[in-house]
Amino acid sequence: MEHFASIFYFAFPSEERFASLFYYFLRAKGVHVLEGFPCFLTTTHTDADIEKVFAAFKESVADMQNAGFFSKAGTVVDSIAAVASSQSVSAPVTKKSP
């Protein structure tokens, strides 16, 4: 996952031939993401919303691994899932600008 502030998008290693299916797995879990387009998180997203996205991400990776679409243990995809699961969600800092 590549990011800048509240904008992020997914980039998969070229050896993951079925990576495009990831977006369909996410949609089946209620998270709509378009392949090749950025995603956004804003201050209107609640902690529950963010947890739902993390859960859908982890479940989709696991489902794809179990179905043989992603490589299993020790891969880049596992590393990404581990990083996502270890991230803590903190309250956003709101600043006023002139």
pLDDT tens across the length of the chain (98 residues) = 777 778 888 888 888 889 999 999 999 999 999 898 998 888 899 999 999 999 999 999 999 999 999 988 665 555 555 555 555 555 455 555 55
Contact by Cβ (8 Å): 12, 22: yes
Q: How far apart are CA 62 and CA 71, in angstroms?
A: 10
Task: Give the residue extent of every domain in the chain.
Answer: 2-86
pTM of the predicted structure, to 2 decimals: 0.66
**Residue 40: strand pairing partners:** 7
